């Protein structure tokens, strides 16, 4: 992992070190040890037997070996013998580029898309009929749980406006404006940063899901390191303090007691170190009996319609339906996501467990190298940050075969660049007249 990342120092946070420390060690490895030793005492994992516990533990141990092998394979292809450490240090130590042939044109484009995204956020709030933080304060926890599933699955407005122009675009634009401010320290860029950050935290909490909001806050760890080339312990303390206070407030609003919050197998701690891994154990328990292996049938509804084959719900949905059918029926339970090898097992059995770490590791490392080779301007940096915390390996294996979210981000990037090219061409045209 260290060879693939360049560094695993917590003061040099990057895409690979985030995956290693959080997704693998905290969310999966710790759980695998607690569960195999029967120290979990977790309400979901308690239902599985000894064979499932052992098989899941074995798959995690294998994944921790095979995953970095896939990453190093990508490095050997795209970087040859060049050191990832020197490659990363060269990137983060270089200045942010805000001038050049497309500097002003790019910023004009950013302004246009900021306006579009702002209107999209307001449109989303209008369609759901509330401002998230005010609604959270004035509603009960059971009501919020019901609303969360309802607005996510039964959104009355245009889902593309919500997902693309609001949920995806606004956080990325907030990073762009912050990188502009880091580079030139202009007051207007600071004001736009504060404005877009405010809208970002508001829209990410539209369905009262805590994780997107908290991870957005922590994503500024990458902003500091990629943009400034350094990350001080003070920055880490400030961000962690904000996250802890936010967690306490959110759980207090939900009526959760302090004892429940602090227990290792309940509350936010239990959710991170056990609940996130619970899906792995449920999927090993219910596939292939009573549920058959899914194969490619859950990759995409669109692809199923296009190639005329039956679409099946993703493994995370089936797992939640198996564990909590009443909650799924009532609309208070959604999916049970876990580490990607869980869905790989549900889809393809032992072959999925053996091959998926190599494939996912290769894809992750390739993206990492891709961004380190790009120009260090606010736009590329913003997408790099977005991929660094959004490249979680706990969403499912299907995301590394066909990922609509990734396609939408690529489209967004191309739209911003294309509009910048139009402004650049117009500027040249007017200057020659």
What is the pTM assigned to this prediction? 0.88
Residue 113 has pLDDT above 70, yes or no: yes
- The tens digit of pLDDT for each residue in 239-250 reads 778 877 877 776
Is residue 106 within 8 Å of 191, Cβ to Cβ? no
Distance of CA 300 to the CA centre of its chain: 19
- The tens digit of pLDDT for each residue in 191-223 reads 999 999 999 999 999 988 888 888 898 899 899
Residue 100 has pLDDT above 60, yes or no: no
Mean of the per-residue pLDDT values of the chain: 89
Residue 305: per-residue pLDDT: 83
Q: What are phi and psi of 367, to 5 degrees?
A: -65, -40
Q: For the residues 82-89, what does the mean pLDDT come to?
A: 92
Number of domains present in the structure of the chain = 1
- C-alpha torsion 386→391→396→401, nearest 10: 90
Alpha helices in 373-431 (DSSP H): 378-390, 404-431
More confident residue, 213 or 144: 213
Would you state the structure tokens that stand for residue 279, as one six-digit string? Answer: 């899906």
Residue 400: per-residue pLDDT: 94
Maximum Cα–Cα distance across the chain: 79
What residues make up the domain containing 247?
1-433
Residue 232: per-residue pLDDT: 77
């Amino acid at each position: 992992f260290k060879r693939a990342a360049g560094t695993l120092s917590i003061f040099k946070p990057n895409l690979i070190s985030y995956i290693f420390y959080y997704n693998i060690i905290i969310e999966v490895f710790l759980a695998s040890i607690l569960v195999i030793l029967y120290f979990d005492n977790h309400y979901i994992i308690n239902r599985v037997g000894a064979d499932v516990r052992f098989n899941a533990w074995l798959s995690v141990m294998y994944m921790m070996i095979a995953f970095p092998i896939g990453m190093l394979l990508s490095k050997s292809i795209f970087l040859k013998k060049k050191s990832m450490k020197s490659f990363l240090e060269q990137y983060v130590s270089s200045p942010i580029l805000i001038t050049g042939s497309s500097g002003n044109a790019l910023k004009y484009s950013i302004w246009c898309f900021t306006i579009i995204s702002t209107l999209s956020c307001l449109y989303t709030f209008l369609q759901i009929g509330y401002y998230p933080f005010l609604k959270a304060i004035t509603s009960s926890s059971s009501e919020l749980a019901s609303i969360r599933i309802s607005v996510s699955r039964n959104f009355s407005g245009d889902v593309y406006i919500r997902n693309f122009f609001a949920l995806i675009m606004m956080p990325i634009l907030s990073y762009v404006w912050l990188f502009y401010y880091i580079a030139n320290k202009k007051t207007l860029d600071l004001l736009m940063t504060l404005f877009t950050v405010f809208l970002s935290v508001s829209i990410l909490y539209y369905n009262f899901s805590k994780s997107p909001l908290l991870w957005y806050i922590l994503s500024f760890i990458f902003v500091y390191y990629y943009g400034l080339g350094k990350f001080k312990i003070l920055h880490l303390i400030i961000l962690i303090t904000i996250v802890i206070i936010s967690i306490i407030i959110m759980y207090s609003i939900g009526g959760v007691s302090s004892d429940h919050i602090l227990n290792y197998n309940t509350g936010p701690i239990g959710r991170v170190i056990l609940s996130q891994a619970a899906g792995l154990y449920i999927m090993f328990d219910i596939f292939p009996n009573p549920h058959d292996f899914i194969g490619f049938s859950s990759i995409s509804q669109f692809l199923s319609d296009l190639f005329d084959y039956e679409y099946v719900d993703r493994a995370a949905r089936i797992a939640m339906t198996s564990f909590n059918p009443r909650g799924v029926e009532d609309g208070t339970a959604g999916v049970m996501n876990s580490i990607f090898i869980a869905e790989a097992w549900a889809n393809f059995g032992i072959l999925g467990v053996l091959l998926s770490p190599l494939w996912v590791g290769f894809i992750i490392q390739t993206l990492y190298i891709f961004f380190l080779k790009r120009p260090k301007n606010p736009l590329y940096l913003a997408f790099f940050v977005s991929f660094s915390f959004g490249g979680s390996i706990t969403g499912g294996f299907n995301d590394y075969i066909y990922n609509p979210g990734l396609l939408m981000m690529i489209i967004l990037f191309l739209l911003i660049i294309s509009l910048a090219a139009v402004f650049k061409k117009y500027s040249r045209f007017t200057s020659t007249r």
